[in-house]
């Protein structure tokens, strides 16, 4: 077996997808914990509720968990969007078509699997803080 010169110290440009998926999953966990703390606060923000509350019997616990998951996914997505907008403001670059396609896919079907490609684009640019 012949080693090519310089192949020993090379790092891949982007982390493997499973490592990035774990990073996104851990970020979703942190956002979920913050979501739970806000929901359990003794004096939550005074706002008109957007959806029926689970304690009045109109929503099942599965619907509540699904709503929590979607809220966490959207919060992380918006956080990434804010980071990308500030990056574009600093660099003057525009949105790539591939990133636009990934964000559209997430908006159509919000899930961890559709959020990971968006995170991959931002991680390639080096703008993910987590």
Report the length, in residues, of the chain: 130
| Tens-place pLDDT, residues 54-92 | 555 555 677 888 999 999 999 999 999 999 999 999 999
> For residue 90, what pLDDT is reported?
96
Residue 60: how many CA atoms within 13 Å on its side-chain side? 3
Report in angstroms the alpha-carbon separations of 111 from 17, 86, 114. 15, 24, 5
Sites in the chain below the pLDDT cut of 50:
1, 6-7
With 0-12 / 13-18 / 19 or more C-beta atoms within 10 angstroms meaning exposed / middle / buried, residue 79 is middle
> For residue 15, what pLDDT is reported?
56
Each domain of the chain, given as residue ranges in start order, spans 17-39+61-125
> For residue 41, what pLDDT is reported?
79
pTM of the model: 0.73
- Any idea which residue has 């980071």 for tokens? 83
Q: What angle do CA 52, 57, 58 make, to 5 degrees?
A: 45
């Amino acid at each position: 077996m012949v080693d090519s010169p310089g192949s020993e110290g090379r790092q891949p440009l982007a982390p493997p997808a499973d490592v990035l998926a774990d990073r996104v999953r851990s970020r979703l966990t942190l956002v979920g914990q913050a979501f739970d703390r806000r929901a359990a606060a003794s004096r939550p923000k005074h706002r008109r509720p957007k959806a029926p509350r689970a304690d009045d019997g109109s929503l099942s616990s599965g619907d509540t968990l699904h709503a929590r998951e979607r809220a966490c996914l959207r919060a992380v997505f918006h956080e990434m969007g804010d980071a990308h907008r500030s990056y574009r403001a600093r660099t003057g670059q525009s949105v790539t078509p591939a990133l636009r396609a990934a964000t559209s896919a997430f908006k159509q079907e919000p899930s961890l699997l559709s959020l990971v490609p968006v995170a991959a684009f931002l991680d390639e640019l080096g703008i993910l803080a987590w």
